[in-house]
Amino acid sequence: MRYCYFVYFEFDSVHADSSGQVPVALGQALVRLKGLTQALVHTPLPADTPHAFADDPNRPDLAWQLYADQPEAMEAWLAPDGALNLALPGLLAQMGTGGQVVQQQIMLNRHFPTAQKAGVDSATYLVHYPGQAQDMNAWNTHYLNHHPDIMQTFPGIQGIEIYTRLDWVGGLPGPRVDFMQRNKVVFADAKALSAALLSPVIHDMRADFHRFPPFSGGNVHHPMATHAARST
C-alpha cells in the first residue's frame, strides 16, 4: 500500500495552453520532491465531454496527485519550510493568476489490476465522497469487495484506485478536507472515458451504489486530462 496527496486548485484566470506543455512543466518540477514515487497533473477535459454525471459542480482548474511510500515524506513537503510549500507560488504562476488551494488531503491508496496500463497521457475520472458513513468498516468492506470488480468491466479500463482517509500533518495554506473516500478510473483519452462511462457498466455501478451501507453526502465526479510526470 502507498499514500496519495490530493490537492485541487482554482485560478482567477488560466493561461491558454493549447500545446499541453503546462502539465508537462509542472510535472517535471514535482518529480524533484524527495521521496516522491509518482506525480500526476490533472487539468479539466472540455466541459462538453459526455459522462454519466455531467451536472456535478466545482470542477478544479488543476489537480495534483502526489504519491509516496511513506506519509512522512509528504508531511515534509507540506511543512511551512518544506519543498512543496516553498515552490508552490512559482508552480502556480505557470498555470495562471490568483491560484489557490481549494482542497487537500493525504489518503491511503489501494491499486486494483487492469488488463491495460495507462500511458504518460490519459483521461481520468476523479470521484470523491465528501460525507460520512454510519459504519466506516461496513462501508469500506462493501466498497472494496464489490465496486472495483465492476470497474474492471469498463471497456478500455487502464487504471483503478481507491483511497481511504487517515490523519495527517501539513502546513500548506488552503482548506483541508476529510473526505471519507475517493476513487478513480483511467482511460486512454476523453473518447474512451466517455464510451466507458456511458456504457451499460454504469448501470451496474449505480445498482451497487444503491446497495452501499448508509452514508451521507453523495459523491462528486470530475473528468480530467492527466499527465504522468517523468524526470528529464
Q: Decide if 4 contacts 67 (C-beta within 8 A).
A: yes
Binned at pLDDT 50, 70 and 90, residue 68 comes out as very high
Task: Write the pLDDT tens digit of every residue in 145-160.
Answer: 999 999 999 999 999 9
Return d(Cα 194, Cα 185) in angstroms, integer.
12
Which domain does 127 fall in, by range?
Answer: 2-228
Give the per-residue pLDDT at 19: 65
Task: Write the pLDDT tens digit of every residue in 50-63.
Answer: 887 878 878 899 99
Task: Write the pLDDT tens digit of every residue in 2-28.
Answer: 999 999 999 999 987 766 788 999 999
Give the per-residue pLDDT at 129: 97
| Mean pLDDT value of segment 184-205 | 96
Task: Write the pLDDT tens digit of every residue in 96-126.
Answer: 999 999 999 999 999 999 999 999 999 999 9
**How many domains is the chain partitioned into structurally?**
1
Q: Decide if 162 contacts 143 (C-beta within 8 A).
A: yes
Predicted structure pTM score: 0.96
| Mean pLDDT value of segment 206-217 | 96
The pLDDT > 90 percentage for the chain reads 89
Give the per-residue pLDDT at 231: 67
The CATH number of the domain holding residue 88 is: 3.30.70.100
Binned at pLDDT 50, 70 and 90, residue 47 comes out as confident
Strand positions, DSSP E, the chain: 2-10, 13-14, 36-44, 62-68, 96-97, 100-112, 121-129, 159-165, 181-187, 220-228
